[in-house]
Chains A and B, each alone.
Chain A
Amino acid sequence: MEDFLYLFRNTAGNRAMSPEEMERTLHKWRAWIGELAQAGHFKGGEPLDRGGKVLAGRRQVVTDGPFAESKEVVGGYLIVSAPGLDDAVQLARGCPIFEAEGSVEVRPIIHMT
């Protein structure tokens, strides 16, 4: 089994949702993550504040970040355990983020042995 990082990027697809629709979406997320947990894939995960800073370059220039465009901001991550990349991708398909035109970036974590 290998570990993978899921990076979630949400577009503004949620913006016009009614409170009731938001709640239904929340239930879907919890159901999906619950399934990952029950099947032994879930290793951790947390949301990320959308604010923050970026330091860059030799002069360590600090900008408010991370990005101006909300759809490029990573809103949170999950660490998922799966046999391989294809499996990790397959597991990601159940994420409700796609209904709001969001994306999941799946990256294998390299563990030093």
Chain B
Amino acid sequence: MSAEGPPEPGARPGEVDRAVDHLFRRASGQLVAALTRLFGVGNLDLAEDVVQETLLQALDQWPLSGIPANPAGWLYRAAGNRAIDALRRAETRQRLNPQVRAVMELSGSPAGGPAASLPAWMLDDAAIAADTLRLMFVCCYPALPVESQLALILKVLAGFGTGEVARALLAEPTAVEKRLYRAKQRIRDARIAFELPPAADLASRLNAVLAALYLMFNEGYSSSFSEHPIRRDVCLEAMRLTKVLTEHPIGQRPEPWALLALMCFHAARFDARTDGDGHLMLLRDQDRTRWCVPLIAEGFRALGRAAAGESLGAIQLEAGIAALHCLAPRWEATDWPTILRLYDLLLEVKPTPVVALNRAVALAEVRGPRVGLEAVELVVASGALDGYYLVPAIIGDLHLRLGEPEPAARYLARAHELTASPAERRLLKAKLRVCGMGRPARDTLQP
């Protein structure tokens, strides 16, 4: 079975380990999806337990037996064996659907033996993708609050542990556990089928999935809660799931492609977003040679697929704006007039204060800081963004550009108060130093 024994002298463990990079987390999500097909949507806990036991078994054996030549295959077979054992327990059988009986009949081999007789669908790539998609729709069950949908995706689909989910969502682990418990309860009570939504509901259910994936990516991307590396993993998982969506017939529409494009453009900037000391860099100041060109290329490929449709929805417009930024070799070369036009269109289909705020920033670039300031003040007047640190941060910055350091300092200090992110605070402090307000400001601010 094993082709890779313990390391020979001279062999570098790192080389083999590449094969298992994030394998456990990836496999966890895929296995839960496959087992949910077997056990039914109401038994997510059972699926998760089987997967956890399987991974622990691998952790138990692989250090001494070596990593198998096909690690994913090993995990699938082991999970299949455990699933069969679970099915043999009478009390489990009673809860299960007819498909299970078929599995039971097929797998007459003794418990613990190789699962050669397991149905092929458990080990098939296309089936894995289809099951992942079904589970995505389950997690994004519309009756669930969005935070619960997000927690479910992170835990069940993306293979994060409860503690990791808590860190990603800036919540307490016990709160996350409760949330997951209640969400699974509701799913169980609703008796949802493990199928793709019917055609009539597909568009709206798909929107829910896209919204959740978008939110998930933003949670990972934003630095508002921590500088923990989990952020990037959450973004990459959101991208991976979006990709699974685009590769399936039901995802062959503009919106999933546009979302993927948007994520690619943002993810391309990961390495440039922080400088050598871990400080957050504004788009303006980023070293663009550190942007990931292959990801940008992938973003444009996805954008091309998104443009095939007839309507220009919000995600496509946002992706277009992100694309324009990625196209500019330098901040100064940014095509602001086109970006502004896209924001004008975006504001029509998505008239939110945040969009208006971002549009105001583009406006300032095209028509000057004074015009931008007026636009921002209109947004502020609505009161919708009170407490959002970016508002005073932008106002402060515009005043700075107008050569008005006093109001600039006031607003930047306010922004500093409003944000909890250490990275953002460092950025704001640096700007305050530019204001040249001297000691008083420094004394009153926390690092």
Mark A residues whose CB is within 8 Å of B. Answer: 8, 10, 14-23, 25-27, 29-31, 33-34, 37-38, 40, 42, 45-47, 50-51, 75-78
Contact = CB atoms under 8 A, between A and B. Distances in A.
Nearest to A95: B63
A19 B27 contact: yes
A37 B61 CA distance: 18
B176 to A, nearest CB: 12
A30 B12 contact: no
B28 interface: yes
A61 B10 CA distance: 47
Contact of B64 (A17, A23, A37, A46): A46
Given A17-B161, A20-B22, A27-B13, A47 B27 contact: no
A40 B10 CA distance: 10
Given A14-B56, A20-B160, A34 B24 contact: no
A20 B24 contact: yes
B25 to A, nearest CB: 4
A21 B161 contact: yes
B74 interface: no
B159 interface: yes
Contact of A23 (B10, B11, B23, B60): B23
B63 A29 contact: yes
B171 interface: no
Contacts, number: 105
Contact of B13 (A34, A45, A47, A75): A34
A18 B7 CA distance: 25
A30 B7 contact: yes
A44 to B, nearest CB: 8
B204 interface: no
A69 B242 CA distance: 44
B142 interface: no
Which 4 residue pairs of A and B lie closest in terms of their CB atoms, listed nearest first? A18-B161, A29-B63, A19-B24, A34-B13
Given A10-B60, A18-B164, A23 B25 contact: yes
Nearest to B10: A38
A31 B63 CA distance: 9
B55 interface: yes
A92 to B, nearest CB: 14
B59 interface: yes
Contacts of A27: 13, 17, 20
A30 B63 CA distance: 6
Contact of B7 (A20, A33, A50, A75): A33
Interface in B53-71: 55-56, 58-65, 67
B56 A30 contact: no
Given A27-B17, A33-B13, A38-B7, 15 more contacts: A10-B60, A18-B160, A20-B22, A20-B24, A27-B13, A27-B20, A30-B6, A30-B7, A30-B67, A37-B9, A40-B9, A46-B65, A47-B63, A75-B60, A78-B64
B160 A34 contact: no
B133 to A, nearest CB: 21
Contact of A19 (B12, B62, B159, B163): B159
A97 to B, nearest CB: 9
B8 interface: yes
A40 B65 CA distance: 18
Contact of B22 (A10, A23, A25, A31): A23
Interface in B9-56: 9-13, 16-17, 20-25, 27-28, 52, 55-56
Contacts of B62: 26, 29, 47
A15 B56 contact: yes
Contacts of A45: 6, 64
